[in-house]
C-alpha cells in the first residue's frame, strides 16, 4: 500500500483500476479544494524545476485553469488578462533582472 493524500487528475482512479489496483479516494470541495489546488500548483512547479520537462508545464497550466475556474475566470479571460498585463508591463522574454532602484 502506498499513501498519497494529494489531489490527482480526474481519470487517475480509473487508470489505477485498469492496472489491477484499487484506489481509495474522496472528493473535496470548497476551501479544502482550493488549498489542495494550491498544493498541487506548488508540486507541479517543483516537478518542472527538477525535470525541465514541458509536460510539467502542461500540468502547471492545468492547475492554473482549475484555480481560474474556481475564481469564475475562463481560460479565454485568463489569456486576455495575461495579454493585457504583457502589453502594459511586458513579458519575461528579455531576461531583465532588477538589481536595485536608486
Q: How confident is the model at residue 1 (pLDDT cuts 50, 70, 90)?
A: confident
Residue the block writes with cell 489491477: 20
Domain boundaries, the chain: 12-75
Read off the pLDDT of each residue in 44-55 and give the average, rounded to a whole number: 97
Distances (CA, A) of 57 to 12, 36, 42, 50, 62: 19, 18, 12, 12, 9
Q: Angle at CA 16, nearest 5°, toward 7 and 1?
A: 80
Distances (CA, A) of 65 to 5, 6, 58, 61, 77: 22, 18, 10, 6, 11
Q: Is 69 helix (H, G, I), strand (E, B) or coil?
A: helix
- What is the predicted pLDDT for the residue at 64? 98
Per residue in 66-95, pLDDT tens? 999 999 999 999 999 999 999 999 999 999
Amino acid at each position: 500500500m502506498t499513501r498519497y493524500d494529494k489531489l490527482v487528475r480526474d481519470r487517475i482512479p480509473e487508470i489505477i483500476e485498469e492496472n489491477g489496483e484499487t484506489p481509495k479516494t474522496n472528493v473535496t470541495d470548497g476551501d479544502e479544494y482550493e488549498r489542495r489546488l494550491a498544493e498541487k500548483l506548488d508540486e507541479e512547479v517543483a516537478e518542472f524545476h527538477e525535470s525541465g520537462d514541458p509536460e510539467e508545464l502542461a500540468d502547471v497550466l492545468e492547475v492554473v485553469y482549475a484555480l481560474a475556474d474556481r475564481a469564475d475566470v475562463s481560460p479565454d479571460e485568463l489569456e486576455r488578462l495575461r495579454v493585457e498585463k504583457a502589453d502594459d508591463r511586458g513579458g519575461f522574454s528579455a531576461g531583465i533582472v532588477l538589481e536595485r532602484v536608486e
